[in-house]
Amino acid sequence: MDVKTRAGKTVSVDNDHILNFPEGLFGFELYHNYAIYDSEYPPFMWMQSIEDQKLAFLVVDPFLICNDYELDVDDKSLSKIGIKSPSDVFVMSIVTIPQGEGPVTANLQGPIIINKNTKECLQVILNSNRWTTKHDIIKALKSREGGSC
């Protein structure tokens, strides 16, 4: 599938890289379908809205940032997207790059849960106060070298 990006380019994306959010993302509930593709800066990826070319999110696997990242999501939420086993799950976090000064951050408090088999997705809010919506990625990577985030 050819997808027009926020940058004005067209990228070709395999159908198995099309994600569906039945409930949308928080604050973007009207947009349900996104294409996910590699960015020019691995391990970051783009999650581009198919419905609105101007809407795209930079995302990353939070386990690459914090080796001790953990999330506890209730079974009722997971069943909404057909998750039956932990092996069905892939997790991504939305990244924020500030326009001015400030750190590049990841939203570890509101991860995106992806059913690897069906590509159905859900954004959840974790009940733990350990993670934040503005987790400093560079600081976390430096801390990771010491064994924790």
Q: In whole angstroms, what is the distance from residue 37 CA to residue 59 CA? A: 10
What pLDDT, on the 0 to 100 scale, is given for residue 142? 82
Q: In whole angstroms, what is the distance from residue 38 CA to residue 5 CA? A: 12
Whether 146 has a pLDDT exceeding 70, the answer reads no
Task: Quick: pLDDT tens for 56-93.
Answer: 999 999 999 998 999 999 999 999 999 999 999 999 99
Whether 9 has a pLDDT exceeding 80, the answer reads yes
Taking CB atoms within 8 Å and a gap of at least 24, the contacts of 105-110 are 105/133, 105/134, 105/135, 105/136, 105/137, 106/60, 106/62, 106/65, 106/135, 106/137, 106/140, 107/133, 107/134, 107/135, 108/62, 108/65, 108/66, 108/69, 108/132, 108/133, 108/135, 109/133, 109/135, 110/26
Task: Quick: pLDDT tens for 93-141.
Answer: 999 999 989 999 999 999 999 999 999 999 999 999 999 999 999 898 8
2-144 classified as CATH 2.30.290.10: yes
Whether 42 has a pLDDT exceeding 80, the answer reads yes
Q: pTM for this one?
A: 0.93
- Domain residue spans of the chain: 2-144
